[in-house]
Amino acid sequence: MDDLIALHRRSARLVAGVMTGTSMDGVDVVLTRLDGSGTALSMDVAAFVHRPYPEAVRSLIRRLAEADTASVDDLTRLNVRLASLYASTVDAALQDAGLRRSDLDLVGSHGQTIRHLPEPADCAGEAVRATWQVGDPSTLAQHLDTVVVGNFRAADVARGGQGAPLVPYFDYVTFTDPEETCALLNLGGIANITLLPAGADRDAVRAFDTGPANMVIDALAERLFDVPYDPDGRHAAAGTPDHDFLAELLEDDFFQQPPPKSTGREDFGPDFVDGIIGEARARDLSPDDTMATATLLTAASVYKAYAQHLRTEAPIDALIASGGGTHNDALMHMLAEAFAPIPVRTASDYGIDPDAKEALCFAVLAHETVNGVPTNLPAVTGADRPAVLGSVSVP
C-alpha cells in the first residue's frame, strides 16, 4: 500500500491505457505521460499499439456475448485469458517506446464488455442495474507488476447512471475551447456524441450513445462479403441506400429514447443484423445497397440525435470524429453531407490519433482515479452524483 500512497502523491505518471470495444476486433494500448488534473492536465503520447484478437479469442468473445451460447466456465476463463492478452500488448507498446515494465506507473483497462444492462430489472426480488467487462484487473496487475485501475463503469451504474459514455470527461479536459462550440463523435462499435459548448464547465457537457457505428456495418460485411469490415467503405460507396428502409430502421425504440441513454450488442447485435438482411432480401436489395443503407443508418442516427437533443441547446461550429469509423470514407462522406455546412473533422486535426483516443481516455481516467477525482458526468450518464470511477488492483 505504500507504493499506492506514493503513486497518489506523485503528479506525473507514465500510464498505459488499454481499450477493447464493442467491435470486438482487438486490443488498443496507448502509453502516455500524464501530469496534473482536469483542464490543467498535460499529455505526451509515447506509443500506440493495436493488436487484432487471435481468431480463437474473437470467436469465443462473440459466442460468450450472446446469452443463448454463453458458458459460465468459459466466461470465467476468458476473464483471465484477456488479462494475459492485455499484458502482452502493453509489453509491445513498452518495447515500441524503448521502455521497460519498471518504467510504468499505472494502467487503466476498460475490459471487454460482455453485457451492459443499465436499466433496472428484477434479480431475485430486487431491481438491479448491471454492467460486466471481462479482462480481470487483478490478474493484469500481477502480470505487469503494476497498479491497475479497471471496472470503470460499475460505480456510475451503482449511482443510478448509464455507466456510459465515459469518454466525455476526456473530451471535456482535452477539447473544450473558449470560443468554439464543438461535438466529439466516437465511431467505435457504437457511436457516441459529446457536446462541448464554448468555454463550458463540466456541468454543461452533454453526451450519449446515438446508436450503431461499426458494429452493424462490420457484421454485415462478414455476412455479405466474408470480410471483417467494409474497407474504406467501398461496398457502401458502390451501393444506393434504400431511404424507405432507412426510415423504418430509424423507428427502432432506441432512437426514440431521450438521453441519458447507452446501448450495445443487446440492441444492435446479431438479431438486429438478421432483421436487416431479411428485410433487404425482401426488398431485393443487392449486398452493396444493403451496406449503403446500413452505413447511412449510422450517419443519419448521429445527425438525428444532434438535431433532436443538442442543436437547440448549443448549435455546433464543428464535428470532430474519432475511432475506427473515420477510416470508412463512405461513412465520413455521409456525415459531411448530413452536417453541412458544419465542418466534419477528425481528432488528428487537434493532435490526437483518432484510433488511439479511447485508449488514451482510459489512461486519463485511471490517472484521475489515483488522483481521487470523480470522472463520471452525472448530466451525461444520469447518475445521482459524481463518483470516482474504477477499482484499484495493487500487485
What does pTM read for this prediction?
Answer: 0.94
The domain locations on the chain are 2-163+356-393, 175-342
Provide the total of helices (H) and of strands (E) in the chain, helices listed first.
16, 13
All 3 cell numbers of residue 364?
486519463
**Domain 2-163+356-393 sits in which CATH superfamily?**
ATPase, nucleotide binding domain (3.30.420.40)
Closest Cα to residue 358, out of 28, 24, 94, 135? 28
Partners of 192 in beta bridges: 186, 209
Q: Do domains 2-163+356-393 and 175-342 have the same CATH topology?
A: yes
Q: How far apart (Å, rounded) are the C-alpha atoms in residues 234 and 395?
A: 47
Q: How far apart (Å, rounded) are the C-alpha atoms in residues 37 and 368?
A: 7
E runs forming strands in 252-379: 318-322, 344-346
Q: How far apart (Å, rounded) are the C-alpha atoms in residues 54 and 361?
A: 25
The CATH number of the domain covering residues in 175-342: 3.30.420.40
User: pLDDT truncated to tens, each residue of the chain (395 aa)?
Assistant: 777 888 999 999 999 999 998 888 899 999 999 999 999 999 999 999 999 999 999 999 999 988 888 899 999 999 999 999 999 999 999 999 999 999 999 999 999 999 999 999 999 999 999 999 999 999 999 999 999 999 999 999 999 999 999 999 999 999 999 999 999 999 999 999 999 999 989 999 999 999 999 999 999 999 999 999 999 999 999 999 999 999 999 999 999 999 999 999 889 999 999 999 999 999 999 999 999 999 999 999 999 999 999 999 899 999 999 999 999 999 999 999 999 999 999 999 999 999 999 999 999 999 999 999 999 999 999 999 999 999 999 99
